[in-house]
């Protein structure tokens, strides 16, 4: 019988991670033969051959061959240390995990985020327009803003209680300290809300919104009294706001001092709410904006409704009958009132959702543009007569509000960098 004696040659070893067995480079044909299954071959390696330096006579083990294939492929993470050209199916067969690229995930997430922002902004603007239209329609036939404002707070309170009870919105943890801290902001919110409703009942919606665009003026003045300092650019930005509002007021066809003072007092109320909230709610930052607004609505309702009964409660029954006569159908009046209450809460809810998604500067600019959209929409719906100087004054005031938001954002950015 003819026998063949193989003379062993020096071997080289490649060590990978915890794998300490040497790979024989002295028998390239044998090594190639061992890895033919990777290339599609179904033949098995000879049992008499040495695998990874193991002596002859060891029975062939499919598991060890599978491990050999995997180690051969994944030296330094790629086949033989080079970029992989193996098809995905082959890599999957070798149990090599395929991780998604972060860049691909970011590209895939960007359109969905853009769509979400567009939806939030669209709802915010649309809900605000619907509220202003039906609020004004209800006030035209039922001029009792105290009751209507109370009903709007009631709808918002019930809405939040439903969300909390159905666990559609995580309910905040309530403590005595939290309620006490909210008493001040809720009071100023009540003042701002009822004053705006009084203004809506006296003058055109567009005029109220032009005057309410002067809110930054009150914010700067009151904050300065409380010790805050502002750069010259912010002081200069409020000048066109004052001039524009003044021009719009003297040229307003539906001008009424009650409507003017209502809008101005509303600005004071909301500015004081914001200032007071920053000081009293520092210890409750874990409460998100929507839950905070929900509890402010509940407390504001408790403030406002007793005052509403005192101010105009004796006139509600007679006013209701007049409203039904003016509209013709009771259901039409009920729908107007219900929509004003529902969309008052929804547009405020959408504003908090928008603020969570964008920067304060973008929110401020978007809020300014929202006033422009609301003014145009209400003028078209109610066909209010508008004079050219009135339009000019409104444009100047809104431009000043935009400049203020830019200057305010620049100041905040400077404080962060310093």
Q: What pLDDT shows up at residue 16?
A: 46
Which of 80-94, 109-123, 144-158, 228-242 is the most confident on average?
144-158
The average pLDDT across 353-360 equals 69
Report CA Rg, the chain.
36
Distance CA 36, CA 200 (A): 84
Quote the pLDDT of residue 402: 87
Q: Which residue has the tokens 């809720």?
A: 186
Taking 80 as the threshold, does the pLDDT of residue 374 lie above it?
yes
As a dihedral over the C-alpha atoms of residue 377, residue 382, residue 384, residue 390, rounded to 10 degrees, the angle is -20
Estimate to the nearest angstrom the gap between the alpha carbon of 55 and the chain centroid. Answer: 67
Mean pLDDT over 182-197 rounds to: 94
Give residue 289's pLDDT.
80
pLDDT, residue 104, reads: 53
Token pair belonging to 358? 């964008």
| 19: three-class secondary structure by DSSP | strand
- Determine the distance from the C-alpha atom of residue 37 to the mean position of all C-alpha atoms in its chain, rounded to a whole number: 54
Q: Are 312 and 144 in contact (CB under 8 A)?
A: yes
| Pairwise pLDDT comparison (378 vs 43), residue with the higher score | 378
Place of tokens 């909210």: 182
Burial class (CB in 10 A: 0-12, 13-18, 19+), 109: exposed
Contact 241, 401 (CB under 8 A): yes
Would you call 16 helix, strand, or coil by DSSP? strand
- pTM: predicted TM-score of the whole model, two decimal places: 0.70
pLDDT confidence of residue 263: 93
What gap in Å lies between CA 235 and CA 218, rounded to an integer? 12
Task: Please report which residue ranges of 142-256 form alpha helices under DSSP H.
Answer: 145-165, 176-202, 205-212, 215-225, 232-250
pLDDT confidence of residue 338: 96
Distances (CA, A) of 113 to 56, 110, 120, 126, 127: 63, 5, 11, 20, 21
Bridge partners, residue 16, by sequence: 19
Q: Could you tell me the CA-to-CA distances from 311 to 184, 201, 261, 307, 308 in Å, in that order?
A: 22, 15, 18, 6, 5
Lowest mean pLDDT among 70-79, 220-229, 356-365, 367-376: 70-79
Q: Which residue, chain included where needed, has tokens 């067995």? A: 21
Express each pLDDT in 121-154 by its tens digit.
888 899 999 999 999 999 999 999 999 999 999 9
Q: Which residue has the tokens 């909390």?
A: 164
Given a cut of 50, whether residue 266 has pLDDT beyond it is yes
Please tell me the distance from the alpha carbon of residue 145 to that of residue 193, in angstroms, as a whole number. 10
């Amino acid at each position: 019988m003819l026998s063949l004696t193989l003379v062993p040659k020096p071997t080289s070893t490649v060590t990978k991670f915890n794998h300490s067995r040497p790979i024989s480079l002295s028998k390239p044909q044998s090594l190639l033969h061992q890895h033919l299954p990777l290339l599609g071959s179904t033949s098995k390696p000879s049992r008499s051959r040495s695998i990874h330096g193991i002596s002859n006579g060891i029975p062939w083990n499919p598991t060890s061959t599978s491990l050999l294939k995997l180690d051969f492929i994944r030296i330094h993470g790629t086949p033989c240390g080079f970029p992989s050209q193996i098809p995905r199916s082959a890599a999957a067969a070798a149990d090599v995990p395929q991780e998604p690229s972060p860049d691909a995930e970011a590209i895939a997430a960007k359109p969905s985020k853009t769509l979400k922002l567009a939806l939030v902004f669209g709802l915010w603007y649309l809900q605000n327009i619907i509220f202003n239209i039906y609020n004004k329609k209800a006030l035209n036939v039922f001029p009792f803003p105290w009751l209507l404002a109370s009903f709007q707070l009631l709808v918002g309170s019930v809405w939040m209680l439903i969300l909390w009870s159905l666990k559609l919105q995580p309910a905040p943890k309530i403590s005595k300290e939290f309620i006490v801290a909210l008493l001040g902001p809720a009071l100023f919110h009540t003042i701002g809300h009822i004053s705006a409703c009084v203004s809506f009942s006296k003058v055109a919606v567009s005029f109220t919104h032009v005057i309410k665009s002067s809110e930054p003026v009150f914010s700067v003045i009151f904050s300065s009294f409380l010790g805050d300092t502002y750069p010259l650019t912010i002081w200069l930005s409020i000048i066109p706001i004052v001039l524009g509002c003044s021009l719009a007021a003297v040229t307003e066809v539906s001008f009424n001092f009650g409507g003017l003072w209502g809008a101005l007092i509303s600005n004071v109320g909301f500015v004081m709410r914001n200032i007071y909230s920053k000081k009293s709610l520092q210890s409750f930052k874990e409460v998100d904006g929507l839950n905070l607004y929900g509890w402010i609505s509940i407390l504001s309702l408790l403030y406002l409704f007793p005052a509403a009964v005192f101010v105009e409660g004796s006139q509600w029954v007679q006013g209701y009958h007049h409203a039904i006569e003016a509209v013709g159908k009771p259901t039409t009046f009920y729908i107007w009132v219900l929509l004003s209450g529902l969309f008052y809460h929804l547009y405020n809810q959408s504003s908090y959702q928008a603020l969570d998604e964008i920067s304060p500067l973008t929110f401020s600019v978007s809020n300014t543009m929202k006033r422009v959209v609301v003014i145009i929409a209400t003028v078209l719906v109610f066909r209010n007569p508008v004079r050219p100087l009135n339009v000019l004054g409104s444009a100047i005031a809104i431009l000043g509000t935009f400049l203020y938001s830019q200057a305010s954002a620049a100041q905040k950015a400077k404080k962060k960098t310093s």
